[in-house]
Amino acid sequence: EAQVTQNPRYLITVTGKKLTVTCSQNMNHEYMSWYRQDPGLGLRQIYYSMNVEVTDKGDVPEGYKVSRKEKRNFPLILESPSPNQTSLYFCASSPRSPNYGYTFGSGTRLTVV
Amino acid sequence: QQQVKQSPQSLIVQKGGISIINCAYENTAFDYFPWYQQFPGKGPALLIAIRPDVSEKKEGRFTISFNKSAKQFSLHIMDSQPGDSATYFCAASSFTSGTYKYIFGTGTRLKVLA
């Protein structure tokens, strides 16, 4: 089944404790992106990657890091999480560009206390 | 100028009625306008999309109407069903100076009453 897989689905952590949310797609998509979803704010792009080793900032990149060492994987790293990073996170992928439409993962609900 | 303004925030429609959700944008560089449907606990799923060279696109009960001069586009759900109850997001995308911009609206929570 063609899909974007995120792990974990739920995560509660403490301020300052480094964490990684994994994302993997099995569709050979070139374009991958991370979004956060907050009530009343919709989905805001954190980082995106147009291909292996090519990443760039989205609209809300502060406090996040990403890497794209393999085509299928695009992990999101929070080096020192803070409570304002409590949110619902989605990884998404698209064949060549987002103008072909995204396939989203099921989301990761992160709580930072 | 990068915002996409979506309205209404929530919408209640009777079964069989027409649901209409509107979006407006400012950036004339946007050239791809998708709609996504999101059920609770799931990621958004692409529903239908339009490019600015056409004024309307229909897929089943879902229609996008696009008004380039007004910089507005809307989603119409005909014969709305309880199974359509979900949150709907519009988006707009552009590719300029080697960078994609993909901006989502703030979402509309639709409830269709049986």
pLDDT confidence of residue A99: 85
Identify any residues that bridge with B48 across adjacent strands, giving them in sequence order. Answer: B35
pLDDT tops 60 at residue B67: yes
The amino acid that residue A4 corresponds to is V
> Cα(B25)–Cα(B72) distance, rounded to whole angstroms?
6
pLDDT tops 60 at residue B1: no
pLDDT tops 70 at residue A52: yes
B99 Cβ neighbours under 8 A, 6+ residues apart: A56
Tokens of B70: 């007004």
* Reported confidence tier of residue B98, pLDDT bands at 50, 70, 90: confident
* DSSP string across A77-102: EESS--GGG-EEEEEEEESSSGGG--
- Can you give the C-alpha Rg of chain B in angstroms? 14
A3 touches chain B (CB under 8 A): no
> Cα(A81)–Cα(B63) distance, rounded to whole angstroms?
42
Identify the residue whose tokens are 């560009």: A97
DSSP 3-state of B67: strand
pLDDT tops 80 at residue A78: yes
A92 touches chain B (CB under 8 A): yes
Nearest of B3, B9, B1 to residue B103 by alpha carbon: B3
Residue B69, min C-alpha distance to chain A (Å): 21
Provide mean pLDDT across the span B77-95: 96
pLDDT confidence of residue A97: 84
Q: Per-residue pLDDT tens for B4-60? A: 999 999 999 999 999 999 999 999 999 999 999 999 999 999 999 999 999 999 999
Provide mean pLDDT across the span A62-86: 97
In degrees rounded to 5, what are phi and psi of residue A27?
A: -110, 5
Nearest to A106 among B42, B49, B95 (CB): B42
pLDDT tops 70 at residue A91: yes
